[in-house]
């Protein structure tokens, strides 16, 4: 496995930290750490600081720039040399412990859109492999998340001491953090159940800032360790400038449903969404049968997203728009929009249906459409959420959100 080193590039030094300090602060803010200098009198800024006697937790006053002094010390801690060693051989463990001194741990900012996961591999089984093999193991877990959920982190660093990894994902809706965490945890533990995962929370436990000596940045795009902090800093800020990595919960759960349904047990679904989950209602049974189909009130574009399954089916049968519209109307079981189309074929709802038809036509893939409707082809439609593509799910939620506000 190749690594990105430090040859022929700017070195990580006191001068570099001083000249680029604003970028380090920006990184912490964008990775969701609570670095506010000032806070309400009712609040207390709790920080955790590593000293030669171990971790110490205390509360800061409102004194200006006090926190920034601790932040600066954290990034400088990689450069410290213990003069009393005087060239003697020092174990990697002793060096790691020494260089942890002045490391800073902070909790989550209240408005953070970052999902921070502390992945622990505190297991003897992980103690002896070559570091390159350990990196490949972490890479395997990240690949499982990408393949099963479509989720890619914005930043990751891996422990030199085989203690785990710090993984940062970015979410579209902050209220979905815990549900997305449960999906990621489910996928990772299915890949290897020896690991443990912990979610950072607001006003909760503090987590160490990036670039501590005993953690090495991992390039998400190039799938390799980066031993140059300047390169890692630049790459991470560039990734955070993009919105490509934002995770939508409905999209992620839809991808998992499509790619690895076995992980969505009824007990797991209930844990995330409760007993009313549409995934539980629509989950296909072992014998391949599925529930009968109707487009009911609230489930055309929102809810169970029924219209997209019908449109995919119609396109697979080569129907034009007029034929598709008639078929949709025949499936109406209380949908206000379809009822409005039946009453006024040239109204706003009909134009919306045509827009959806054209969208599905552009993005149609035959593998997402059912092959037939069985014996009752002319009367009912048997469907399953697996016929929706990931791009469908993301677009549906966006359109449903806009439609809700237009009508209200």
Beta bridge partners of 357: none
Residues 282-292: tens digit of each pLDDT: 443 333 333 34
Most confident of 66-75, 212-221, 318-327: 212-221
Res. 299: pLDDT tops 60: no
Residues 181-236: tens digit of each pLDDT: 999 999 999 999 999 999 988 767 888 999 998 899 999 999 999 999 999 999 99
- In which residue are the tokens 């396109």 written? 315
Res. 71: pLDDT tops 50: yes
Residues 20-48: tens digit of each pLDDT: 999 999 999 999 998 876 555 545 667 88
**What are the domain boundaries of the chain?**
3-247, 287-407
Name the residue among 356, 254, 343 with its Cα closest to residue 301. Answer: 356
Which tokens sit at 294? 């109707």
**169 φ/ψ angles, rounded to the nearest 5 degrees:** -105, 160
More confident residue, 82 or 157: 157
Residues 241-275: tens digit of each pLDDT: 988 899 998 888 888 887 887 887 766 776 676 64
Which tokens sit at 244? 């490509």
Residue 122 — very low, low, confident or very high, per pLDDT cuts 50/70/90? Answer: confident
For 12-91, where are the alpha helices, taking DSSP H only?
Answer: 14-19, 21-30, 66-76
Q: Which of 191-200, 293-302, 349-358 has the lowest mean pLDDT?
A: 293-302
């Amino acid at each position: 496995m190749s690594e990105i080193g430090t040859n022929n590039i700017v070195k990580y030094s006191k001068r570099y930290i001083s000249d680029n300090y604003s970028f380090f602060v920006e990184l912490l803010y964008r990775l969701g750490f609570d670095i506010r200098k000032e806070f309400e009198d009712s609040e207390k800024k709790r920080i955790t600081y590593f000293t030669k006697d171990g971790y110490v937790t205390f509360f800061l006053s409102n004194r200006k720039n006090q926190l920034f002094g601790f932040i600066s010390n954290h990034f400088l801690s990689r450069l410290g040399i213990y003069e009393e060693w005087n060239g003697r051989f020092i174990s990697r463990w002793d060096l790691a412990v020494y260089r942890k001194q002045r490391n800073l741990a902070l909790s989550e900012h209240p408005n953070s859109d970052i999902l921070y996961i502390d992945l622990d591999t505190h297991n003897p089984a992980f103690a002896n492999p070559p570091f390159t093999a350990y990196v490949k193991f972490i890479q395997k877990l990240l690949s499982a998340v990408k393949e099963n959920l479509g989720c890619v982190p914005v930043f990751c660093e891996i422990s030199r001491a085989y203690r785990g990894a710090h993984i940062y994902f970015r979410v579209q809706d902050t209220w979905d953090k815990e549900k997305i965490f449960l999906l990621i945890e489910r996928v990772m533990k299915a890949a290897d159940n020896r690991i443990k995962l912990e979610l950072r929370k607001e006003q909760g436990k503090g987590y160490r800032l990036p670039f501590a000596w005993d953690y090495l940045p991992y390039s998400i795009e190039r799938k390799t360790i980066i031993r140059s902090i300047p390169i890692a800093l630049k790459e991470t800020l560039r990734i955070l400038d993009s919105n490509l990595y934002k995770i939508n919960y409905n999209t992620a759960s839809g991808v998992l449903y499509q790619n690895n349904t076995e992980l969505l047990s009824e007990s797991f679904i209930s844990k995330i969404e409760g007993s009313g989950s549409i995934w539980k209602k629509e989950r296909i049974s072992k014998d391949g049968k599925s529930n009968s189909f109707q487009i009911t009130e609230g489930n055309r574009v929102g809810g169970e997203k029924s219209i997209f399954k019908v449109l995919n089916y119609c396109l697979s049968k080569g129907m034009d728009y007029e034929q598709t519209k008639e078929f949709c109307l025949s499936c109406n079981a209380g949908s206000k929009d379809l009822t409005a189309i039946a009453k006024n074929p040239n109204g706003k709802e009909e134009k919306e249906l045509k827009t959806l038809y054209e969208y599905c036509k552009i993005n149609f893939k035959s593998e997402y459409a059912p092959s037939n409707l069985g014996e009752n082809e002319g009367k009912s439609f048997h469907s399953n959420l697996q016929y929706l593509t990931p791009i469908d799910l993301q677009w549906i939620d966006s359109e449903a959100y806009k439609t809700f506000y237009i009508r209200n």
